[in-house]
Amino acid sequence: ELKVEQNPLFLSMQEGKNYTIYCNYSTTSDRLYWYRQDPGKSLESLFVLLSNGAVKQEGRLMASLDTKARLSTLHITAAVHDLSATYFCAVMGAGGTSYGKLTFGQGTILTVHP
């Protein structure tokens, strides 16, 4: 059974600082997704990572995937208040009955303050 764990679950950051959110998963997969959710809103796709070593960047966010370590990171550079949200990683199952389905991490609630 595929399990996905994020840490930290809560992150309070000061504006201008850097930090990393980690996403570990338990079984083989080569597709990992990062989503953002604002309070009371739906999920917005941020990144799709499709292979080992994949790195994608958008603004102050950079995501990477290490399939051998079963680890993805979401790095935040010089945080600003607008980045305050909940961030989810989701891993796509690669075999058996989990094939094609997403398993989500618990989410990381990020708060950026002055």
Residues making contact with other proteins (CB under 8 A): 4, 9, 31, 33, 35, 41-43, 45, 48, 50, 88, 90, 92, 99-107
Contacts by 45-49, CB closer than 8 A, 24 or more apart: 46/74, 46/87, 47/74
Q: How far is the CB of 54 from other proteins (least distance, A)?
A: 12
Distances from the Cα of 32 to the Cα of 24, 69, 76, 100, angstroms:
11, 13, 18, 12
Cβ distance to other proteins smaller for residue 1 or 114: 1
Judged by beta carbon, residue 31 or residue 64, the one nearer other proteins is 31
Residue with tokens 């989503």: 35
Supply the minimum distance, in Å, between the C-beta of residue 13 and other proteins.
20
